């Protein structure tokens, strides 16, 4: 299958109804990412044939778990999963955060070329990032450890918001090391077409923040 056929087939397997113009934009993003990746090392994946499965479909597998409100993609790198989510959810305000200026230069270029009016790029360290409002959803594919994902972003999450952590095997030991008050609301297995091995999405909430809001 060519990339367009692979994407359409994968979206059907995921149960996602994505309009043709958005699918075309997803493929344009994958091509742009591949072009820049040859120079700027945006992602570890160097096999263009796997871009649809390992970049686009893997990112979009969490689409059913996105709610309303503003989304933050932390350590966005090449824009995964933030840009695919923004393309398929034009109603969603998406913020991409990365401290690497070369990566954020690519993100800015992608926003311009793909005409993503719902995306804002920030070149900042998490500790220095001071948004105007907290985020309803914070997501990342880049953090190896759950605690390292939630701890520095805890102050950025709305009281009723959630983290979406994308993982392979269910990380029982990482869950045990989560900071006090952080709870796993749901741990859901996901099957990504073309991606071998187990995949999970963990939905995390800050029970402490909810209690503080209620006081």
Q: Binding site membership: which residues?
A: 75, 80, 126-127, 141
Q: Binding site membership for S-adenosyl-L-methionine: which residues?
A: 75, 80, 126-127, 141
User: Does residue 22 carry a pLDDT above 90?
Assistant: yes
Does the pTM of the predicted model rise above 0.85?
A: yes
pLDDT averaged over the chain?
Answer: 91
**Residue 208: its pLDDT value, please?**
76
Note the pLDDT tens digit of each residue in 98-140.
999 999 999 999 999 999 999 999 999 999 999 999 999 999 9
| Domain made up of 3-214: CATH architecture | 3-Layer(aba) Sandwich (3.40)
**Residue 209: its pLDDT value, please?**
64
Q: Are 134 and 158 in contact (CB under 8 A)?
A: yes
Measured between alpha carbons, how far is 184 from 204 in angstroms, rounded to an integer? 5
Note the pLDDT tens digit of each residue in 153-203.
999 999 999 999 999 899 999 999 999 999 999 999 999 998 888 899 999
Domain ranges of the chain: 3-214
């Amino acid at each position: 299958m060519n990339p367009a056929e692979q994407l359409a087939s994968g979206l059907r397997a995921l149960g996602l109804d994505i309009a043709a113009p958005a699918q075309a934009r997803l493929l344009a993003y994958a091509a742009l990412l591949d072009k820049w990746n040859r120079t700027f090392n945006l992602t570890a994946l160097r096999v263009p044939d796997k871009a649809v499965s390992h970049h686009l479909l893997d990112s979009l597998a969490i689409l059913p778990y996105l709610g309303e409100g503003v989304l933050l993609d932390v350590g966005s790198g090449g824009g995964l999963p933030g840009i695919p989510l923004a393309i398929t959810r034009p109603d969603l305000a998406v913020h991409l955060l990365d401290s690497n200026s070369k990566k954020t230069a690519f993100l800015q270029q992608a926003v311009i070329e793909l005409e993503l009016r719902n995306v804002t790029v920030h070149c900042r360290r998490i500790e220095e990032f001071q948004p105007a409002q907290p985020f309803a959803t914070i997501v990342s594919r880049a953090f190896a450890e759950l605690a390292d994902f939630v701890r520095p972003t805890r102050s950025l999450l709305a009281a009723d918001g959630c983290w979406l952590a994308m993982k392979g095997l269910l990380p029982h030991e990482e869950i045990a090391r989560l900071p006090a008050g952080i709870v796993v609301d749901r741990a859901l297995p996901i099957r990504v077409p073309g991606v071998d091995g187990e995949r999970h999405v963990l939905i995390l909430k800050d029970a402490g923040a909810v209690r503080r809001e209620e006081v």
